[in-house]
Amino acid sequence: MFIKMIPEIGHFALIIALLMAAVQAVMPLAGAATRRPLWMAYGQPMAVGQFVFIAIAYACLTASYMLDDFSVANVANNSNSLLPWYYKFSAVWGNHEGSVLLWSFMLAGWGCAASLFTGNLPRDMVARVMGVMGMVCVGFLLFILMTSNPFERLLPGMPQDGADLNPLLQDFGLVVHPPMLYMGYVGFSVVFAFAIAALMGGRLDAAWTRWARPWTNLAWAFLTVGIALGSWWAYYELGWGGWWFWDPVENASLLPWLTGTALVHSLAVTEKRGSFKSWTVLLAISTFSLSLMGTFLVRSGVLTSVHAFANDPARGFFILMLLAITVTLSLLVFALRAPRVSHKVGFNWLSRDALLLVNNIFLVIMTVTVLLGTVYPLILDSLGLGKISVGPPYFNTLFVPLTVLMCIFMGLGSVTRWKSMAARDLIRKLWLAGVAALVIGILMPLLYRGEWNLFVSLGIVSALWIVLPMVRDVFDKTRHASSFLAGVRKLSLAYWGMVLGHVGVAVTIVGVTVVSNYNIERNVRMSPGTTVEVAGYQFTMTELTERRGANFLADTSILQVQRGDSGSSFTMRPEKRLYLATGMPMTQVALRPGLFRDLYVAMGENLGDGSWAMRVQYKPFVRWLWLGALLMAFGGVLAVLDKRYRRTASTREAPKVASQDDSTQNSAREATA
């Protein structure tokens, strides 16, 4: 009896959560405006309570899936009794309604966490943060309850079985990609709320930046992982070996990442130097706005994409309203409350401040470029100027040069001192790195493939120019310690976070460069007994069989692969599957991953005479793409764990002077050396 009511309990829990969110939205803000501590104190308990009730709702939906309750429309449309349990669990977010519920769940989670870790922030600021977060939560909960209720029932005529999860989604990628991605999107709501609260309270001092940095870094790390997982999943799932298509939905995730990266750097400047205050606030608003915009683009049917959810203009309209109200109000608050006079903190041409300014400019240009390319077809269509497409050629043409240019400044920026640095010092520090980067970069294609390639060299030089200056910097900083290890331990986690973050970028660039230029692909006809050679590997088809899976039938080919004449030997089994419930055919790629190369085999079509068309690919360094992203994310997490964020209030002011700012310590050392 209780079990039969689970969807209703979930529905009811959502309504309670909405009420709590409404209180959270109104009371603390009113309290801050009228200086009533009691009202302001409503923020935290409401945030916690809201989280608890959304958690209950989410658990109810999950339970409905796990229990195969096909009286719930959402379960009937997206699940099936034959579905393996881990896919039932993930199918919750494999559709529009469930994924918005996941979004709200995480939003409430971040809000709850933010409410619990306020430390020594002034009470009215905390109240305003809670208020803003409450408002966003209200928006999403209203959206769910009014247009996308996952607890709709199909009674009395409930179906015997569900329509099954789309076969493309029946994959490990579904288990990890959306949760990570949403944690990133939603995580930026914290720094957004902070920025608005700071504007409202008229307090744009360094306190809020110090508080906001770990939250931002963490959200950024999640988003990085989420995007990387999406790319990786598309790579092995879609069967053509590509890892980024500049599809509108992919771009929708990249946009907040680009401004998020700018924000991470801008926060550093604001915290350490007190400058770029308004700019940092604007970036915080923009990043979360882009997250919201991404949600709109993906769910409204406005842009055409394989990845988009089933489209419904009514829902699109609601999200558009949500987006429009949130962003317009935020930008209005910014326009009206941003400080009028900003004390101009000075810095010189050659300084970390200047280089981070350049970094931000580049990232913003990249953001505008990607945004422009993504929405341009829509703009032209709205103006009646016809329907055009903007795809990979456009984005690659613009994005790649911008990245290369940015790398030049990245190499400099990570080792330049704040405020000012003599050109002489910088050159002395970097000339060797520069020469080494150029030499190795130019030689690399010659050594790897025997023929020079401009694009490869550009990529390798860029990547090395990011890494080698930092190597020199680590060397310089550990030079005077008793031992290398002692020196390493003295450097803060925040520093290592930066190093790893940048190294991650370099690794990704290497991956992109090598796989884009040295990918080998062959379409061949194979039948049992045929051998094909690709990049030194011999692929021999030994067998063509059929098998039955949990909810599909498959044609499997078994390939014996031999590396060279006497190298390693292994089996690969690409498949062509037919999913029973939907009748959808699908290619299951056979993948042999490796650190320095992937082997990628996909079955094409049955040529009828006992042979199949197969695509065999050799993809060098493709894993570096995602490993780089993991390194970046790991760097972000390290920065969050830095002990300065765990100091108590009494010691918190001290570090600003006797700084973790190793660059000033170093300059003293170098001056005397």
Tokens 């949403």 locate to 182
Query: Closest CB to other proteins among 597 and 615?
Result: 615
What residues numbered 554-593 form the site for other proteins, per CB under 8 A? 554-555, 576, 578, 580, 583, 585, 587
Query: Residues 55, 145, 206, 345: which binds other proteins (CB under 8 A)?
Result: 345
Query: Residues 5, 116, 361, 427: which binds other proteins (CB under 8 A)?
Result: 361
Long-range interactions of 388-395: CB distance < 8 A, separation 24+: 391/245, 391/246, 392/245, 392/246, 394/246, 395/246, 395/369, 395/370
Query: Residues 119, 159, 346, 594: which binds other proteins (CB under 8 A)?
Result: 346
102 contacts other proteins (rule: CB under 8 A):
no
Query: Residues 12, 172, 394, 448: which binds other proteins (CB under 8 A)?
Result: 394
Distances (CA, A) of 562 to 17, 236, 526, 572: 59, 22, 16, 11
Query: Closest CB to other proteins among 151 and 279?
Result: 279
Contact stretch for other proteins (CB under 8 A) within 12-20, 27-35, 356-364, 435-443: 356-364
Query: Closest CB to other proteins among 434 and 549?
Result: 549
What residues numbered 404-463 form the site for other proteins, per CB under 8 A? 419
Query: Closest CB to other proteins among 126 and 458?
Result: 458
372 contacts other proteins (rule: CB under 8 A):
yes
197 and 129 Cβ atoms separated by less than 8 Å:
yes
Contact stretch for other proteins (CB under 8 A) within 147-155, 260-268, 304-312, 454-462: 304-312
632 contacts other proteins (rule: CB under 8 A):
no
Smallest gap, in angstroms, from Cβ of residue 219 to other proteins?
22
Query: Closest CB to other proteins among 130 and 541?
Result: 541
Smallest gap, in angstroms, from Cβ of residue 596 to other proteins?
24
The one-letter amino acid code at 184 reads G
516 contacts other proteins (rule: CB under 8 A):
no
Query: Residues 591, 614, 625, 630: which binds other proteins (CB under 8 A)?
Result: 614
Tokens 């001056």 locate to 671
Query: Closest CB to other proteins among 116 and 332?
Result: 332
Full DSSP string of 177-229: HHHHHHHHHHHHHHHHHHHHHHHHHT--SHHHHHHHHHHHHHHHHHHHHHHHH
Q: What does DSSP assign to residue 301?
A: S
What residues numbered 313-342 form the site for other proteins, per CB under 8 A? 313, 316-317, 320, 323-324, 327-328, 331-332, 334-336, 338, 340
CB neighbour list of residue 148: distance below 8 Å, 6 or more residues apart = 96, 97, 100, 315
The count of residues interacting with other proteins (CB under 8 A) is 96
Distance CA 52, CA 49 (A): 5
116 and 195 Cβ atoms separated by less than 8 Å:
no
Contact stretch for other proteins (CB under 8 A) within 123-131, 299-307, 466-474, 642-650: 299-307
What residues numbered 275-294 form the site for other proteins, per CB under 8 A? 275, 282, 289
Query: Closest CB to other proteins among 225 and 603?
Result: 603
Query: Closest CB to other proteins among 35 and 547?
Result: 547
Distance CA 63, CA 77 (A): 16
Query: Closest CB to other proteins among 303 and 622?
Result: 303
What residues numbered 24-83 form the site for other proteins, per CB under 8 A? none
CB atoms inside a 10 Å sphere around CB 4: 9
Smallest gap, in angstroms, from Cβ of residue 402 to other proteins?
8
Smallest gap, in angstroms, from Cβ of residue 331 to other proteins?
4
Angle at which helices 123-147 and 43-66 cross, to 10°: 30
Query: Closest CB to other proteins among 317 and 475?
Result: 317
Distance CA 150, CA 407 (A): 46
Angle at which helices 423-449 and 392-413 cross, to 10°: 130
Query: Closest CB to other proteins among 4 and 340?
Result: 340
Distance CA 617, CA 606 (A): 19
Query: Residues 387, 450, 671, 673: which binds other proteins (CB under 8 A)?
Result: 387
Contact stretch for other proteins (CB under 8 A) within 158-166, 262-270, 380-388, 644-652: 380-388
Query: Closest CB to other proteins among 157 and 583?
Result: 583
297 and 252 Cβ atoms separated by less than 8 Å:
yes
Smallest gap, in angstroms, from Cβ of residue 418 to other proteins?
12
Smallest gap, in angstroms, from Cβ of residue 159 to other proteins?
22
Long-range interactions of 558-563: CB distance < 8 A, separation 24+: 559/590, 559/601, 561/537, 561/592, 561/599, 562/537, 562/538, 563/536, 563/537, 563/538
Helix (H) or strand (E) holding 537: strand 537-548
550 contacts other proteins (rule: CB under 8 A):
no
CB atoms inside a 10 Å sphere around CB 519: 18
Query: Residues 267, 357, 410, 421: which binds other proteins (CB under 8 A)?
Result: 357
Query: Closest CB to other proteins among 67 and 422?
Result: 422
298 and 185 Cβ atoms separated by less than 8 Å:
no
Query: Closest CB to other proteins among 523 and 665?
Result: 523
Return the bridge partners of 193, or none.
none
Distance CA 306, CA 168 (A): 11
What residues numbered 157-216 form the site for other proteins, per CB under 8 A? none
What residues numbered 125-154 form the site for other proteins, per CB under 8 A? none
- Dihedral angle at the C-alpha atoms of 631, 637, 643, 644, nearest 10 degrees? 110
240 contacts other proteins (rule: CB under 8 A):
yes
CA 88 to mean position of chain CA atoms: 24
Distance CA 201, CA 182 (A): 29
Smallest gap, in angstroms, from Cβ of residue 597 to other proteins?
20
204 and 280 Cβ atoms separated by less than 8 Å:
no
Query: Closest CB to other proteins among 119 and 585?
Result: 585
Distance CA 628, CA 81 (A): 39
The three-point CA angle 332-321-313 to 5° equals 155
Smallest gap, in angstroms, from Cβ of residue 620 to other proteins?
18
Smallest gap, in angstroms, from Cβ of residue 349 to other proteins?
6
Query: Residues 33, 113, 365, 438: which binds other proteins (CB under 8 A)?
Result: 365
Query: Residues 25, 132, 308, 632: which binds other proteins (CB under 8 A)?
Result: 308
390 contacts other proteins (rule: CB under 8 A):
yes
Smallest gap, in angstroms, from Cβ of residue 647 to other proteins?
30
CB neighbour list of residue 613: distance below 8 Å, 6 or more residues apart = 523, 524, 525, 603, 604, 605, 607
Query: Closest CB to other proteins among 85 and 349?
Result: 349
Query: Residues 156, 202, 393, 564: which binds other proteins (CB under 8 A)?
Result: 393
Return the bridge partners of 602, or none.
615
Distance CA 655, CA 606 (A): 68
